Structure 1
Amino acid sequence: MRKLYVLSLLLLIILGSSAVSASILEYSSKITYDYSLETDKIKDLSLSLLALAVATDKAESLDRKKLWEVTEKLLSHQNGDGGWGYFYGSVSSVPDTGYALLALGTALEKFEGEYDKEYKIKRAINRGVEFLLDNYNGEGWGYLKKMPTSYYPTLIAVVALSSLNRGYPYTEIAFSNVLKNTIPEKPEELALWILAYYNIYKEEPTNVVEKLIKSVKEDYEYPLAAYVLLKVRGLDFEAAKLLAKAESYNESWTSPYYPIYTTMAFSLVSESIIPQGEDKLAKYCALLENMQNEDGGWGIYKGSPSDVRVTYYALMSMKICNPQSEAVYRGLEFMRREMEKNKELILMDGKLRDEYLYALLALLEYRSLDWNERKVERALIESSEWGFAYGKQPLTTALAIKALLKMGADKTTPIVKENIEWLLRIKKNGGWGFIFRTVIVDWNYAPEYPATIEIFNVLWPLVDEEDLKDTIELLRKTPPRIEWQKLYAYLSLSEKSIEPYWSPEISESENNSLTVAMLVRYYSMFPGVAKVNLYSVITELKDKNVSMITTTEVLKDTVKAMLKDNFNIIVNETVFADPELLEVPERGNWIVIAPISAVKVHEYNADVKVRVGEEIKVNDLPVEGKAILFIIPGRNRNGNLIFILYTEPKEYAEKLAEVIFSQPIIKYIHGKCVVITWKDTNNNGNVEIEEIDMKFLK
């Protein structure tokens, strides 16, 4: 097995071009996995497992099956007393037990919910912790049981126990008595000391971190130092320099610890790929068409008898999907038959019917009636009674008005004007419903849904907003309880730029035709907002040609160079836009450069909300600076977006971009949003590295 590892190492060095083209995380994690299978040295096996656990879900070649394979190997090497020895079967020691616990604590997080595996790992951890606590001598730890206190085993024990939130107060006592005032010299021990301090005091020991940075010399020490900085400080310029230096050894490293520490470090600046979400609009268009009956109509549920009202709403949504489809043709044929059937009834008793009006409106929406046909239908409506045996009905009246308007009438036409006034007059509590009128009683059951929504939509362009003020408040405050009606109310308000006090509950039903029809309209207006991160977008755009829409010439060139040099993303088309008229493309891969106020980023990234007012806030966190740049990933209907947004005046943002986009840190940007700020602390007007701050929203 060792020959296999050495051969892998030699191949890596010889085939340098492969290492360059492949992700360094992918490459280092593969080598680490191979090494973990061959080594029986507990420290190396434990560090390999720790690295693989951190990289799982981030390196494509790693999965939980491989991780469990290595975890199970380490579990099988535990001794009967709960500890681990230098090699499999050797006497238990404090340092080796500490390394094993560090690894298992990290691996445990990856098997959450897999109860059998969780139990085995937790049991091993508990036994290992008991071993360490049994070996505590009141001051610290020695290498073996009953040995006097030594620095290195105490350091490992404190790091392991504090990482697991176990061993209090022994860890604090040991750190204070043995470790705190004796700073080690070796980079590996410095790294452990920093992690121990950070675990106990929850703050960065700045001076010791600086000492670690200055002390690294060997190839494997650079990724180790980068890992520690990323753990206690996050990605900054120093961490980026260490990552870049570590990556420079990817063709020439010789120590087995290099791929292990490289896997650990680069996992912290890598993210899981979030796949492109399904096209919800396409999904519900296909589903709606599939719910159509043989006769061309739609029922409440697939296979239920066709209903004229349901078919009307289905056809209104099919206009969004494909107005030229065979399904639409068959639906209109169904509506024509229904219109003619109900017309015969109207001619018999003179009473207008909703079924007739819904069928007529569908045909009018699709311009399926010629001039003579429209003339006949208009005459029929004007000569009929707008209701039935129990009186004139608000919904029938509104539908009749809507049909007349589509056949040449306007709001000043006497019959239209008269009935608009009647609808406003009989409105009750802000809405409309059903009127029950006999010689004995005169009841107005209102407000009811969906009548109130439909009538509101008909009246909106015909009357003053003040006339509908109470209706607006009703819809904003009191949504319908039925899902499709609630969606319809939400869409009706949103189309008019009215924000309700409630949000729709999207259950994404696939059974109810009316709900599916409303979901088509919903996703045409509100495309499913993506959850996305920079790693996913950059990975998908890497080695591809993209388009750019920009509001500034200078930033255009700076961003183009940054994308090409760091990610090999090539901009092959550029469109200039006025900031006030900028529209984010709905499809395709785009780089968007614009003022922060010109783009509603939360429509393209569900996890990022930017508020621009007296102060700028990102997810409610204030952001300040003389110039601010935002790098935000997003997604449209079928493509990926990278937003480079800036604060005004743009000249300052351009200066900031020229400096920051040439730094190695850009290569390692990650998270859901990067915020780069410049504060001109020396007031010389020049952007200097020391004046720049960078934050990553995870």
Structure 2
Amino acid sequence: MRRALSLLFIAMLLLPYANVTAKPVLESAVDFIKDSKSISNETKSVSLALMAMVESAGKVEEDLSPYIDEYVNFLLENQNPDDGWGYSPGQSSDVLDTSYAVVALSKAAEYYGYGTSQHTSLRIVADRGAKFIKNAFNGEAWGYTPNTKSEFYPTVIALWALGNRGYSWESSYMLKRGVSFLESIKSYPGFTSTEIEALRLIAYKSIKYTPRDIEKRLASLKDSLDKSSLSTKERVLATYTLILYEGVSFDAAKALLTLEDIKKENPTYWENNLPMRDREIVPVSSYATLSFALVAEKSRVIEKLPEKLKSMQNDDGGWGYRVGSPSNEIATYYALKALKKYYFTDISIDKGLEWTSARLSTLKEISEKQKELYGPYVYAILTLAEFNMLSDEQKEENIEFIKSLKMEDGKWGSFLGPQPFDTALAIRALLALGLSPEDSDIQKAKKWLLSVSKEGWGIFLRTKYYEYMVTQDVSTTLEVLEALAPISTKEELEPHIEWLLKQRNEDGGWPDIKENTLGGVVIYRGESHIDLTIRVEELLEPLGYNLRDEVFNWIQTHEEENILDSALKTGFLSQFRFVAKGVYDVIKLIGEENFTLAYAPGRRETAEVAKEAVDNFFNTNITLEEFKGINDGNYIVLTDYNDVNISDYNPDITLKVNDSNIVLNEKTYDKGKIIVLVPGKYEKGVILFVLYPEDMKSAVETFFNSGLIKYLKGKALVIKFEDKNNDGIASLEELSAEVMG
């Protein structure tokens, strides 16, 4: 998506830590929140503060666990015998405060992690609270106390709470009635229309209900955020809601910048600019902190993981199951997939692909000789297809070959007969080779797989008289679900997903076989494996199961046993770390690592201006030198459009230069009137290319001097200069920008 916008507002990342010389906004906000119980011990305030701390954990320098424990214990100690909570300790239970407590304790349970004693106990307590809420339902919605008149506020927070306990609008009559009631509310005493809509959308997100006019509603919230008359309470609620739905969009970033402008200092907090504002300080500050925390990044825990994985590569270019063991196609497939998430180009990737390419014909011969689908052959196909290394002819040839190995229509197998594992491999390979999901063999394979088991797959046995699944195991089930996921509905896969979820060990990970019993006695319990656990998370995440943070916490306490573990862990953790996919991914390193500002001949004066600005804003001292190519280390490069081949450093960006215009990812711009910022990465560092013609030097200097470089985000950025007063000198008001991605 591209948007044209004034550079005055291009704070494309909320960056609570944008200015390295000041205490980060999130850090300072948490300083206030962690001690806010001394200001208000109301259940609502304590619950919202706990939510803010849980979301901030791992994203600020301080260890928040003692404070999270304290606030959790406060809520546990003040739960009433009827399983609800009151307005404050010792008061009678009500729906509103019970709902806030249930949301907070549900979030805290996720923080402690599946399999921990805290997770188990908090889940039980939160479920008891949810039962109180459900019992208070009056047939239409919720009042403040059980079986009283329906009211907006307790109903909207009750939905938020029940959503956090796993209830969804789609499967709950109670929640559907609640939504209908909320939709009927046009006004409510003590709440503005902005607050009503924000709270509604927060609740709807929790119960997985998406209104048909959601885009219109979000647009209305954005319009509200542009109004200077908005109260602080309205603003923090609208901002939090917008981030829940859109993440770090331009509008969300702009809203966060406004929150930065209106914050109070030492420590950072927010207060409502309306009567009774003192009572709102903790809730308002909690929502603001939640907003910043939602978009902040977790601590960098894996900066060396890709290098470690590269060091495990064998001399022949492949990876083995363990360091030093012979290369195999499965380990190599996962290693290359992981490295691809970190590097656009890399010699290790090239070597791995060369090894795989050289192996393909041999693997095919083995399959042909065995007259069955050979697993390593399939993984070689998956690897080469992933990296677009197969010609159309090769794809067709391998499609025909794989089909020739089927035992019957839609079934592949071994000497045991048709097997789910082999059939799943065939589906994955055929889809990777570009065969339509509607192909008859793929559809028959899908139908057969779904027919032979109601929950999970393993070894399948067919005799003259009967057929049945001898065993079910996680690895086979994963292989089948990975094959079926792109061509099936969630409903078709749900029984098998439920079986897979039941195989989870108490420690939070997945074994291949959870347990074996003999005569009702457990004789074997399977150990959890990193590779299986990560594959489960990656399979289920697109299907709406949010296990990411739980798995993240789990793998921090488990050591890799082999290269397969290392590869999958490296790939999974890439989402929690820096990968140079956007402009900010480069910019954020300027204050942390050494950079060289390299300039093309004739651009030294502009480079000196840029260096002074960068040094000032990032409290650094970058090297200045004439551009003679990318050699070693990190760079900011000031040069013309056609002086470098951008695709060598960023394959997501294509830049073509013609006589009168340039074409950036298929969009045409007038040559000579724009500055293009593109991030890049290579084996030895990162690069920020600043591409422009010499007559745009004034615009480049204005851009750097503005300090906007601290906040930029997007896959690439196009800055335009419109000389409105015809003086040839760029002012900030004459610059606009278009963000890609």
| TM-score, normalising length: structure 2 | 0.48
Structure-2 change in CA distance of 1:64 and 1:88 (3 Å): same
- CA distance in 1: counterparts of 2:56 and 2:667, whole angstroms: 34
Partner residue of 1:191 out of 168, 179, 198: 198
Aligned match of 2:294:
268
What pairs up with 1:382-393 in 2 under 5 angstroms? none
- CA distance in 2: counterparts of 1:48 and 1:143, whole angstroms: 22
| Alpha-carbon shift at residue 219 of structure 1 (Å) | 5.1
Is the contact between residue 591 and residue 620 of structure 2 (CA under 8 Å) also seen in structure 1?
A: yes
Aligned match of 1:157:
158
Aligned match of 1:612:
654
Partner residue of 2:636 out of 591, 608, 611: 591
What pairs up with 1:226-241 in 2 under 5 angstroms? 226-241=239-254
| Alpha-carbon shift at residue 118 of structure 1 (Å) | 2.2
| Alpha-carbon shift at residue 622 of structure 1 (Å) | 6.8
* Letter aligned with residue 676 of structure 1: L
Partner residue of 1:573 out of 600, 604, 624: 624
- CA distance in 2: counterparts of 1:278 and 1:138, whole angstroms: 54
Tell me, yes or no, if structure 1 residue 694 matches structure 2 residue 719: no
Q: Tell me: higher relative CO, structure 1 or 2? Use CA pairs within 8 A at least 6 residues apart.
A: 2
* Letter aligned with residue 159 of structure 1: W
| Alpha-carbon shift at residue 25 of structure 1 (Å) | 0.9
Aligned match of 1:346:
none
* Letter aligned with residue 135 of structure 2: D
**Aligned to 1:118, what secondary structure does the other structure show?**
helix
Is the contact between residue 654 and residue 665 of structure 2 (CA under 8 Å) also seen in structure 1?
A: no
Deviations 1:262-312 (A, max 9, x none): 321222332124354279599969x99xxxxxxxxxxxx99xxxxxxxxxx
What pairs up with 1:545-584 in 2 under 5 angstroms? 546-551=595-600, 553=603, 556=607, 560=611, 563-564=614-615, 566-577=617-628, 582-583=629-630
* Letter aligned with residue 277 of structure 1: K
Partner residue of 2:304 out of 277, 280, 300: 277
Q: CA-atom RMSD, angstroms?
A: 5.7
| Alpha-carbon shift at residue 36 of structure 1 (Å) | 4.3
Structure-2 change in CA distance of 1:144 and 1:531 (3 Å): same
What pairs up with 1:465-544 in 2 under 5 angstroms? 477-478=361-362, 531=579, 541-542=590-591
Structure-2 change in CA distance of 1:79 and 1:143 (3 Å): same
* Letter aligned with residue 717 of structure 2: I
Aligned match of 1:35:
36
State the percentage of identical aligned residues.
Answer: 24
* Letter aligned with residue 689 of structure 2: I
Deviations 1:216-266 (A, max 9, x none): 655565444433322223334443333223223342756334542332122
- CA distance in 2: counterparts of 1:660 and 1:76, whole angstroms: 55
- CA distance in 1: counterparts of 2:688 and 2:41, whole angstroms: 48
- CA distance in 2: counterparts of 1:107 and 1:653, whole angstroms: 52
Tell me, yes or no, if structure 1 residue 22 matches structure 2 residue 49: no
Aligned match of 1:398:
none
Deviations 1:513-552 (A, max 9, x none): xxxxxxxxxxxxxxxx985687786565328763213458
| Alpha-carbon shift at residue 143 of structure 1 (Å) | 0.6
Structure-2 change in CA distance of 1:250 and 1:642 (3 Å): farther
Is the contact between residue 141 and residue 150 of structure 1 (CA under 8 Å) also seen in structure 2?
A: yes
- CA distance in 2: counterparts of 1:111 and 1:239, whole angstroms: 29
| Alpha-carbon shift at residue 188 of structure 1 (Å) | 4.4
Aligned match of 2:265:
251
Is the contact between residue 139 and residue 178 of structure 1 (CA under 8 Å) also seen in structure 2?
A: no
| Alpha-carbon shift at residue 127 of structure 1 (Å) | 1.9
Partner residue of 1:675 out of 687, 711, 716: 716
* Letter aligned with residue 272 of structure 1: K
* Letter aligned with residue 201 of structure 2: I
Is the contact between residue 52 and residue 290 of structure 2 (CA under 8 Å) also seen in structure 1?
A: yes
| Alpha-carbon shift at residue 144 of structure 1 (Å) | 0.8
- CA distance in 1: counterparts of 2:613 and 2:200, whole angstroms: 37
Structure-2 change in CA distance of 1:532 and 1:111 (3 Å): farther
Aligned match of 1:522:
none
- CA distance in 2: counterparts of 1:207 and 1:170, whole angstroms: 28
- CA distance in 1: counterparts of 2:309 and 2:22, whole angstroms: 36
Is the contact between residue 43 and residue 99 of structure 1 (CA under 8 Å) also seen in structure 2?
A: yes
- CA distance in 2: counterparts of 1:654 and 1:161, whole angstroms: 57
Structure-2 change in CA distance of 1:64 and 1:694 (3 Å): farther
| Alpha-carbon shift at residue 24 of structure 1 (Å) | 1.3
Aligned match of 1:80:
81
Gaps of 5+ in 1: 1-17, 289-300, 303-452, 458-470, 482-497, 512-528, 616-620
- CA distance in 2: counterparts of 1:658 and 1:165, whole angstroms: 54
Aligned match of 1:71:
72
Tell me, yes or no, if structure 1 residue 62 matches structure 2 residue 63: yes
Structure-2 change in CA distance of 1:558 and 1:694 (3 Å): farther
Is the contact between residue 142 and residue 150 of structure 2 (CA under 8 Å) also seen in structure 1?
A: yes
- CA distance in 2: counterparts of 1:661 and 1:227, whole angstroms: 31
- CA distance in 2: counterparts of 1:64 and 1:245, whole angstroms: 30
| Alpha-carbon shift at residue 194 of structure 1 (Å) | 3.5
Deviations 1:96-134 (A, max 9, x none): 122223323333333334432222232223222222222
Query: What is the number of equivalent residue pairs in this alignment?
Result: 450
- CA distance in 2: counterparts of 1:665 and 1:240, whole angstroms: 13
**Aligned to 1:264, what secondary structure does the other structure show?**
helix
Gaps of 5+ in 2: 1-18, 272-280, 316-322, 325-350, 367-388, 396-530, 532-559, 563-576, 658-663
Tell me, yes or no, if structure 1 residue 201 matches structure 2 residue 210: yes
Partner residue of 2:175 out of 171, 175, 185: 171
Deviations 1:421-455 (A, max 9, x none): xxxxxxxxxxxxxxxxxxxxxxxxxxxxxxxx9xx
Is the contact between residue 236 and residue 665 of structure 1 (CA under 8 Å) also seen in structure 2?
A: no
Structure-2 change in CA distance of 1:115 and 1:30 (3 Å): same
- CA distance in 1: counterparts of 2:737 and 2:718, whole angstroms: 6
Aligned match of 1:486:
none
* Letter aligned with residue 297 of structure 2: E
- CA distance in 2: counterparts of 1:245 and 1:573, whole angstroms: 35
- CA distance in 1: counterparts of 2:103 and 2:80, whole angstroms: 17
Deviations 1:622-659 (A, max 9, x none): 7746378455475855x6x342366xx76899899789
Structure-2 change in CA distance of 1:138 and 1:597 (3 Å): farther
- CA distance in 2: counterparts of 1:188 and 1:213, whole angstroms: 15
Is the contact between residue 625 and residue 679 of structure 1 (CA under 8 Å) also seen in structure 2?
A: no
- CA distance in 2: counterparts of 1:222 and 1:666, whole angstroms: 26
- CA distance in 2: counterparts of 1:597 and 1:548, whole angstroms: 16
- CA distance in 2: counterparts of 1:256 and 1:29, whole angstroms: 11
